[in-house]
Amino acid sequence: MTAPTRTWLITGSSAGLGRALVTELLARGETVAATARVPHALSDLGPSSGRRLWTARLDVTDPERIRQVVADAVEALGRIDVVISNAGYALVGAAEEASRDQIERQIRTNLTGPIHLAQAVLPYLRAQGHGRIVQISSMAGQRAAPGTAVYCATKWGVEGFFESLAAEVKGFGIGVTIVEPGTVRTGFFGRGKEVTAALPAYADTPAAVLRRRAEDGRLSCRGDLAKMACAIVDVATRPTAPLRLALGSDAYGLIRRGLTARLADLEDQKHIALSTDLSGDTA
């Protein structure tokens, strides 16, 4: 028996992981609403996909446009089963170097954009009684690194928001999965980055080293986009999917080391934590 097809909505579809996801889904016979700031970048996929590929222009920093595109996609395709919130980029450089505009743009794209998208799709998912939201985070959403402070702030933000959201919408038959990829060649250190203006005081710091390597393309990237896309689709279509999904050996290692260190610190501080409770009867 042939498995029923699903309808997917993906943001940030024109390149990198987003495009790999669109390609994987179309190869599986799924229907895709692919959105991007430059949707014509997907025009080469259209002829072989027929009506299974629907595209729209979308800048996720525009909440009104998000709502309109979601409504248009539902009208055109009948429903949305899975939403993959993928649009985003990395701001690379020391925290002090980031301009106000750079900080605000990073937050609007990586944090408030996904929040507005979730708000826009939830009424449709609730009405149909099922669905899944897949939020693309990063290994940086579990362990921060120098030179990516603002980027990490947005990823830690989406991790908290979507973990909370998962508990809020579970009763409606809606699942949430947070994906934490490691480095990929065309993502974090490729076109999907912006670099701060350098301050001389940070010239020999770890943040500056990361910036120079990112600018020169000298950082090794272990992730295979096609394999990551395949894994995301496989997991998202399970009857029960995990809340978090790490992708790449670098992500697995970094997250594991970070969690181990945090747990050790917590145990070391146990006596301090317990000493701050109210004394006696707390009823």
What is the model's pTM?
Answer: 0.93
Domains and CATH numbers, the chain: 7-251 (3.40.50.720)
User: Which entry of 137, 138, 193, 202 is annotated as an active-site residue?
Assistant: 137
Our answer to whether residue 252 is catalytic in this structure is no
Which residue type, as a one-letter code, is found at position 31?
T
Confidence of residue 1 (pLDDT cuts 50, 70, 90): very low
In this prediction, residues 257-279 reach a mean pLDDT of 97
pLDDT at 26: 96
Catalytic residue (choose from 89, 155, 193, 202) = 155
Q: Is 151 a catalytic residue?
A: yes
**Catalytic residue, candidates 14, 85, 138, 151:** 151
In 3D space, the residue among 27, 254, 5 whose CA is nearest the CA of residue 137 turns out to be 254
User: How confident is residue 3, by pLDDT bands cut at 50, 70 and 90?
Assistant: low
Question: Which pLDDT tens digit goes with each residue over 89-117?
Answer: 999 999 999 999 999 999 999 999 999 99
Write out pLDDT tens, residues 39-52.
Answer: 888 888 876 677 89
The 10s digit of each residue's pLDDT in 124-167 is 999 999 999 999 999 999 999 999 999 999 999 999 999 999 99
Which amino acid is located at 32 in the chain?
V
Stretch among 19-28, 138-147, 158-167, 210-219 having the lowest mean pLDDT: 210-219
Tell me the average pLDDT of the chain.
Answer: 93
If you write DSSP's letter for every residue of 162-201 in order, what string do you get?
Answer: HHHHHHHHGGGTEEEEEEEE--BTTTTTTTSEEEPPPPGG
- Residue with token string 């949305």: 80
Mean pLDDT of all residues in 54-75: 98
Considering only CA atoms, give the Rg of the chain: 20
DSSP symbol at 100: H
User: Is 155 assigned a catalytic role?
Assistant: yes
21, HSE (Cβ side, Cα atoms, 13 Å): 30
Contact between 235 and 241 (Cβ < 8 Å): yes
Query: Residue 41 is encoded by which pair of tokens?
Result: 């970048």
CA distance 239 to 235: 9
What is the dihedral angle through the alpha carbons of 227, 27, 189, 147, rounded to the nearest 10 degrees?
-70
